[in-house]
């Protein structure tokens, strides 16, 4: 699962607008908190659970002004451990927070997530100003740890390796009222040699389908119009109980929920992307034709060394079936450049597959060794070689992405307006959202036309393709479309 699939606002913690009384002694509750999230969509959703647990215990979310003014009583970092620089980012940030704590002695700092699961005692020793360290499997312990830290005056570390409850059973403070994350499974049963996730998240555990559907209905009842189903390998849902059709059944069941306009999911594993899943996507009207489909490498030799249970021909065959069933599908991917032992010939195979696959976008990474993974002990590719390959691959994908986005010009797209505003939207008087296949669109509201609100659907004519998004500045006088649906 990839953190770069989200905008900054989509990754951010929930923040309330400053309201009357917030910030005074009466309305601070047990304390004003802020959650700083690093990592993928699963971490973002975990942060919603962290926020829910804290609010259930009497804490109050910080407003944006309070975050800027550092008027905070509790900061929680939800960490990521996927890449090598994750630890550097974590320690660098909490090092800055140490200065804040010297200025505000009552400030509490907590560290959770994958890095906490991995380096539990090391964090407390290296950063003694941290009050609480908790893991991915015991988010619900955080309020107790904070209370104990106040009494004991030292870091409280509680990281469990056994899953006793699904995080979905915890209270949730959702970051968006119109778009919700819903976890259908946690953990991973694969053994990819580059990945630390099975260590930090544990073995795969699936939720009961009835519980998932009940949560989705509750989200819709609370105003959500879109849900994204989450899992480390979301399409292997049900394999643990021997039902290989469970995920496609779940997608079709989502299609029967009144008021649910859009369903997305991430991230699937190519080896488990079966024909029934393709059919369910194509035949269920509210399942969007957007797919993140991790390739990792186009070289069969490297895929074997990665312990990826597919080969490039199989990957392209599945891709062909998806595009045959859904010609409009926007398909993104992950690619690792410079995996240990990668030769020039291996890299050229990746370039070949990328040219043939024509992904809408690719999240490309220079390989970084993660301690504790088999690949970390393999012979590494020199950095200058990796860098040169990385730049070539990025240039190729940028060209393909530009050509793909240009194909939208002149077409009408339906965009769900979100709370996410582009950096220039205030100046250009545009609103922002994603069209049905997931592309980010900035829409200019024509003079005299209604201004849409968050959660509305706008059909508009695309007038320009930018580098990574679309611009729709329609002129109805020229026959271009602008229509708002509530």
Distances in whole angstroms, Cα of residue 6 to Cα of each of 29, 41, 58, 145, 169? 31, 8, 30, 31, 25
Report how far residue 42's alpha carbon sits from residue 82's, in angstroms, rounded to the nearest whole number: 12
Report how far residue 198's alpha carbon sits from residue 110's, in angstroms, rounded to the nearest whole number: 23
Write the CB contacts of 415 (distance below 8 Å, at least 6 apart in sequence): 433, 434, 435, 441, 443, 457, 458, 459, 460, 472
Q: Could you list the residues known to form a binding site, using ranges.
A: 40, 80, 114, 188, 192, 195
Phi/psi at 442 (5° precision)? -105, 125
Q: Could you list the residues known to form a binding site for [4Fe-4S] cluster, using ranges.
A: 40, 80, 114, 188, 192, 195
Phi/psi at 71 (5° precision)? -90, 70
Cα–Cα nearest to 341, from 305, 393, 297: 305
Is there a contact between 396 and 431 (Cβ–Cβ < 8 Å)? no
Report how far residue 122's alpha carbon sits from residue 109's, in angstroms, rounded to the nearest whole number: 15
Is there a contact between 381 and 347 (Cβ–Cβ < 8 Å)? no
Phi/psi at 134 (5° precision)? -140, 155
């Amino acid at each position: 699962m990839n953190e770069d699939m989200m905008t900054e606002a989509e990754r951010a913690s929930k923040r309330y607008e400053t309201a009357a009384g917030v910030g005074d002694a009466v309305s601070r509750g047990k304390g004003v908190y802020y959650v700083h999230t690093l990592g993928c969509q699963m971490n973002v959703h975990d942060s919603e659970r962290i926020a829910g647990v804290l609010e259930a215990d009497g804490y109050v979310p910080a407003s944006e002004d309070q975050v800027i003014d550092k008027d905070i009583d509790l900061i929680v970092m939800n960490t990521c451990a996927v890449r090598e620089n994750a630890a550097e980012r974590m320690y660098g940030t909490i090092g800055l927070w140490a200065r804040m704590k010297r200025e505000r002695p009552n400030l509490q700092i907590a560290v959770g997530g994958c890095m906490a699961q991995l380096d539990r005692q090391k964090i407390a020793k290296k950063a003694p100003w941290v009050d609480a360290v908790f893991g991915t499997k015991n988010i619900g312990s955080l309020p107790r740890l904070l209370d104990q830290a106040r009494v004991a005056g030292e870091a409280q570390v509680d990281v469990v390796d056994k899953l006793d409850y699904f995080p979905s059973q915890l209270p949730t403070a959702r970051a968006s009222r119109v778009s919700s994350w819903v976890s259908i499974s946690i953990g991973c049963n694969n053994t990819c040699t580059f990945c630390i996730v099975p260590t930090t998240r544990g073995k795969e555990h699936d939720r009961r389908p009835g519980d998932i559907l009940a949560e989705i209905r509750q989200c819709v009842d609370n105003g959500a119009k879109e849900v994204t189903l989450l899992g480390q390998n979301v399409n292997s849902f049900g394999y643990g109980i021997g039902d290989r059709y469970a995920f496609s059944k779940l997608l079709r069941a989502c299609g029967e929920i009144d008021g649910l306009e859009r369903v997305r999911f991430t991230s699937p594993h190519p080896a488990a992307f079966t024909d029934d899943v393709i059919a369910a996507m194509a035949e269920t009207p509210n399942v969007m034709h957007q797919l993140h489909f991790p390739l990792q490498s186009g070289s069969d030799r490297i895929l074997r060394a990665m312990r990826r249970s597919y080969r490039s021909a199989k990957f392209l065959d599945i891709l062909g079936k998806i595009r045959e069933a859904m010609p409009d599908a926007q398909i993104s991917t992950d690619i690792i450049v410079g995996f240990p032992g990668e030769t020039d010939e291996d890299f050229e195979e990746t370039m070949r597959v990328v040219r043939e696959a024509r992904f809408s976008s690719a999240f490309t990474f220079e390989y970084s060794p993660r301690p504790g993974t088999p690949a970390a002990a393999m012979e590494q590719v020199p950095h200058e070689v990796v860098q040169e390959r990385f730049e070539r691959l990025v240039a190729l994908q940028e060209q393909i992405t530009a050509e793909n986005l240009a194909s939208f010009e002149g077409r009408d797209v339906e965009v769900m307006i979100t709370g996410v505003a582009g950096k220039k939207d205030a100046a250009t008087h545009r609103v922002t959202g994603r069209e049905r296949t997931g592309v980010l669109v900035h829409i200019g509201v024509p003079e005299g036309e209604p201004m849409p609100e968050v959660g509305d659907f706008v059909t508009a004519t695309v007038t320009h393709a930018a580098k990574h998004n679309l611009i729709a500045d329609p002129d109805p006088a020229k026959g271009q479309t602008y229509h708002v649906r509530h």
